[in-house]
Amino acid sequence: MKSFTATIFVASLVTLGVLLITLVISLVIMLQSCQSKSAGGVIELLNINEYYSYCRVYSLHAELNNLEGYNLPRICRDLAVHYIKVGQYARDLDLTMSLIDDYFKSVRPAEDGLDVVLMDIDDIFPRNSDSFNLFHRFYNDSTSNCIKEAKNVKLMFVSRLYMYLQTGGWSIILLSREPRTHRNVTINHLDSAGLRSWSALMMRAEDSDPTKGYEYFSRQRNVIRKKGFRIKSIISSHMDAVTVPETEVRNYLLPGHLCDKFEKQVEHRS
């Protein structure tokens, strides 16, 4: 009887040992699977960031060299949508806002009202309907929605920045590459966005070359100074407005988004 009991006891221990070993093996396999998925996610994220960085560098140098109508690689389209959808564009704008905030905390406008901030307002309002319909024919809904969402995000940022500067007592001069014939439409957009009480709205002459942004902004800065204003800061999303360093002028380049580049590509095809 004792021998039988001992046999059962030993068999139970063996069974328990097998179960424990099975459990340990299962846990190891599950852990390896999780690690594999995690590593795969990290690799995928690194690939996305790497490709998007490539697209941004490509776009930046094309703009820097004034290559109008350049074509971004096809892979950049999906990455551009991803950049907006995951909120990275909004986070980049917020980071820029913190830099601007740090600077304007340390300076104050003179009481004569002649210290001004120049703000480039292009690319924050919708383009004309013909342009958008043409764009929609070339690209799918996700890219079209990317344009709308990016503009909404940027408009909210610019509105917040505008109110911040006004509250700080700064005079604001708005600059646009749009022709003066669009002045009334532009003013309506500004009013709708709550961007009011600006000191001046400067727009391009109808007969001037819209591709020569650098020359346009240089002329406008000279005009502003001849009127007695002191330019303290220039804020733009475009290189042509901020590429010339000037003494006592703080330039800020707002982050752009690649969805806008695809819209411009379509305009150059038309």
User: Going edge to edge, which strands form the sheet with 250-253?
Assistant: 200-204, 171-179, 115-120, 230-236, 250-253
Checking 224-228 for CB contacts under 8 A at 24+ apart, the result is: 224/116, 224/118, 224/173, 224/200, 228/114
Contacts of 93 (CB under 8 A, 6+ apart): 153, 154, 157, 254, 255
- Sign of torsion over alpha carbons 74, 75, 78, 83: negative
From first to last of the 270 residues of the chain, give the pLDDT tens digit.
445 455 554 445 445 544 454 554 455 445 555 444 443 443 344 466 676 677 777 777 777 666 555 567 777 777 888 888 888 889 999 999 999 999 999 999 999 999 999 999 987 876 554 444 444 444 556 667 777 888 889 999 999 999 999 999 999 999 998 999 999 999 999 999 999 999 999 999 888 776 677 788 888 999 999 999 999 999 998 888 887 777 789 999 998 777 766 555 544 444
- Dump pLDDT digits (tens) for 146-205: 778 888 899 999 999 999 999 999 999 999 989 999 999 999 999 999 999 999 999 998
Q: Which amino acid does the sequence have at 236?
A: S
Question: What confidence score (pLDDT) does residue 8 get?
Answer: 53
Question: What confidence score (pLDDT) does residue 75 get?
Answer: 76
Can you give the length of the chain in residues? 270
Question: What confidence score (pLDDT) does residue 159 get?
Answer: 94
pTM above 0.95, yes or no: no
User: Exposure string (b/e) for 16-44, b if CB count within 10 Å is 16 or more?
Assistant: eeeeeeeeeeeeeeeeeeeeeeeeeeeee
- The CATH code that applies to domain 73-269 is 3.40.50.1000
Question: What confidence score (pLDDT) does residue 261 get?
Answer: 65
Domain boundaries, the chain: 1-65, 73-269
CA dist 84 and 76 (Å) reads 12
Question: What confidence score (pLDDT) does residue 94 get?
Answer: 94
Question: What confidence score (pLDDT) does residue 7 get?
Answer: 53
Cβ-based burial of 232 (10 A; exposed 0-12, middle 13-18, buried ≥19): buried
Question: What confidence score (pLDDT) does residue 86 get?
Answer: 86
| Distances, alpha carbon 219 to alpha carbons 82, 88, 119, 213, 262, in Å | 38, 35, 15, 10, 29
